[in-house]
């Protein structure tokens, strides 16, 4: 049986009656700095995604979309802090799968990773679906499946060629999408300043006649706009200084993304606020971004907004494919999923097999609906978020070594705050539609069946990563400098 360490370096294999030596497998290339990692997270969140749910949440909250974003940002910050704490402890690929595995054992880790796959596998599909639909609005004669298929192929090529090239492509896309959103903000503010009937500056942040309940409902819908910090955590083995930069990038991604969402929704509310969102036609709600762009900048700017959204979907799909391929790579490297998934290309130093598998699955976007994809993303993400919060409590307060944090500040940081994050995630999780729970339960049952077969009905331990023999300076060169630990 092959054994792997935290780097994924295969050791020599001893078979019956013979010794088989094996060259060390290639490692993921450490090429990303703080800026590149943060931009990956922002690209995954897609700064223009605020327009995807703009009309729906405004209708639910009667125009209080900015306030719902504030509530969602506060909620997600608790979980982002938990991710930052765990990635500092375990700076390797794997995200919530690794954290649950190290905190609660192989079975919990596998099931968490299995549920997380719903999130990661379906997010690229969602972006490719939206991309195809938006292309269809400008070119009705082209079936949406054609641009969606082209996007899948392009993303696959970029991912195989390497994380550095993918990072550069994402940087260009983020700059483009941010520029268009910035222009929208200027046009919207200009329109609001010249409109005597524009609402007050703070009105979008005040409660309506129905109180706080609609705001919470809106925040539940918006919470999944903050998935970028989870994507950041999967790049730990490709960051130049993971112990320092990954935790910072997680918090920066959450704060910057949330700030952009709040700002865009606020200037949009200042520029256009119908008297009653409940009376707005459904077709206008579904295409609120284009409608708003037409209102503040005319038809030409509306077309620009469409193409910027297409670019944003391509970038988010690219970041999503990178993230899920690393999850499969981590699980394949542990031997829980087929071993080929845990191998790297010797030429490109990328998980080609895992990337190929993800791209094949992504082709499902050619026949799935947006509703089906969105529901599964919600179920998988919130399940993973909940386990990460619980993992912080176990890792820092009740570690297996028995030497947990006992100071008042430590109990608050690693006990109370993750507990609040867990409760908030469970609250959002239970708000999902019953049909989502049926599909999610079936997916979880498949995961249990796989792990039962792998362990011969739990008679064998689940393979786990072993960090005990890993030199910290190999994971992070800064660890050789004692002062770097303090700075991080």
Domain-embedded: residue 8: no
Domain-embedded: residue 441: yes
Domain-embedded: residue 474: no
- Residue 151 has what pLDDT? 87
- Residue 24 has what pLDDT? 53
CA atoms of 164 and 67, how far apart (whole Å): 37
Domain-embedded: residue 68: yes
Domain-embedded: residue 168: yes
- Residue 18 has what pLDDT? 38
How many independent structural domains does the chain possess?
1
- Residue 7 has what pLDDT? 32
- Residue 286 has what pLDDT? 59
- Residue 276 has what pLDDT? 67
Which DSSP letter does residue 198 get?
A: P
Domain-embedded: residue 486: no
- Residue 420 has what pLDDT? 95
Please give the residue range of the domain that contains residue 248: 32-466
- Residue 396 has what pLDDT? 92
Q: Using DSSP, how many helices (H) and how many strands (E) does the chain show?
A: 19, 2
* CATH label of the domain that carries residue 112: 1.20.1740.10
CA atoms of 238 and 8, how far apart (whole Å): 13
- Residue 96 has what pLDDT? 83
H or E element: which one contains 18? strand 18-20
Which DSSP letter does residue 199 get?
A: P
pTM (whole model) above 0.75 = no
Domain-embedded: residue 488: no
- Residue 209 has what pLDDT? 67
Domain-embedded: residue 7: no
Report yes or no: 301 and 293 within 8 Å, Cβ to Cβ.
yes
CA atoms of 40 and 46, how far apart (whole Å): 10
Tens of pLDDT, residue by residue, the chain (488 residues): 223 233 332 233 233 333 434 455 555 567 678 888 888 788 767 666 777 778 778 888 888 889 989 988 988 899 999 998 988 888 776 678 888 888 888 888 888 888 877 877 887 887 888 788 777 767 778 888 888 899 888 888 877 776 565 666 666 776 777 788 888 888 888 887 766 766 677 788 887 667 777 887 788 778 778 877 777 877 777 788 887 888 889 999 999 989 989 988 888 888 887 766 777 776 566 567 777 888 888 888 888 888 777 877 777 777 778 777 877 887 788 777 788 888 887 777 778 888 888 888 888 878 777 666 777 777 888 888 899 999 999 999 988 777 778 888 889 999 999 999 999 888 877 777 777 788 888 889 988 888 888 888 878 877 654 433 333 333 344 444 433 333 33
* CB neighbour burial string for 222-251, b if at least 16 within 10 angstroms, e if fewer: bbbbbbbbbbbbbbbbbbbbbbbbbbbbbb
């Amino acid at each position: 049986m092959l054994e792997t360490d935290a780097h994924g370096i295969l050791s020599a294999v001893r078979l019956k009656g013979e010794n088989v030596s094996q060259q060390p497998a290639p490692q993921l290339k450490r090429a990303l700095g703080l800026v590149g990692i943060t931009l990956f997270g922002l690209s995954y969140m897609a700064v223009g995604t605020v327009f995807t749910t703009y009309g729906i949440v405004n209708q639910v909250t009667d125009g209080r979309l900015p306030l719902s974003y504030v509530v969602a940002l506060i909620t997600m910050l608790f979980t982002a802090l938990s991710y930052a704490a765990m990635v500092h402890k375990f700076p390797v690929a794997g995200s919530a799968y690794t954290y649950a595995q190290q905190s609660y054992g192989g079975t919990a880790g596998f099931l968490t990773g299995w549920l997380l796959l719903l999130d990661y596998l379906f997010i690229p599909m969602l972006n490719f679906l939206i991309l195809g639909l938006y292309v269809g609005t400008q070119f009705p004669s082209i079936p949406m499946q054609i641009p969606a298929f082209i996007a899948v192929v392009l993303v696959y090529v970029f991912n195989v060629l390497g994380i550095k090239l993918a990072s550069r492509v994402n940087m260009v896309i983020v700059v483009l999408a941010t520029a268009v959103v910035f222009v929208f903000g200027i046009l919207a503010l200009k329109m609001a300043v010249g409109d005597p009937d524009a609402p007050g500056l703070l009105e979008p942040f005040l409660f309506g006649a129905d109180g706080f309940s609609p705001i919470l409902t809106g925040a539940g819908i918006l919470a999944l706009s903050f998935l970028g910090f989870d994507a950041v955590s999967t790049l730990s083995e490709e960051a130049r200084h993971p112990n320092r930069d990954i935790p910072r990038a997680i918090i920066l991604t959450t704060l910057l993304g949330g700030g952009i969402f709040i700002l865009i929704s606020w200037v949009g509310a200042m520029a256009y606020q119908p008297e009653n969102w409940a009376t707005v036609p459904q077709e206008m709600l579904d295409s609120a971004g284009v409608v708003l762009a037409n209102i503040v900048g005319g038809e030409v700017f509306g077309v620009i907004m469409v193409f910027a959204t297409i670019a944003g979907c391509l970038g988010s799909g690219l970041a999503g494919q990178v993230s899920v391929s690393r999850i499969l790579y981590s699980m394949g490297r542990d031997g829980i999923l087929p071993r080929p998934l845990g191998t790297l290309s010797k030429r490109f130093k990328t998980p080609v097999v895992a990337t190929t598998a993800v791209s094949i699955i992504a082709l499902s976007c050619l026949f799935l609906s947006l509703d089906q994809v969105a529901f599964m993303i919600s179920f998988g993400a919130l399940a993973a978020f909940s386990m990460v919060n619980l993992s912080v409590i176990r890792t820092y307060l009740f570690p297996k070594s028995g030497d947990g944090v006992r100071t008042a500040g430590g109990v608050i940081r690693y006990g109370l705050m993750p507990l609040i994050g867990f409760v908030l995630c469970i609250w959002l999780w239970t708000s999902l539609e019953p049909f989502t729970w049926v599909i999610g339960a079936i997916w979880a049952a498949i995961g249990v069946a796989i792990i039962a077969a792998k362990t011969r009905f739990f008679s064998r331990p689940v393979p786990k990563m072993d960090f005990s023999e890993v030199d910290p300076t190999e994971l992070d060169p800064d660890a050789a400098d004692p002062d770097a630990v303090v700075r991080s």
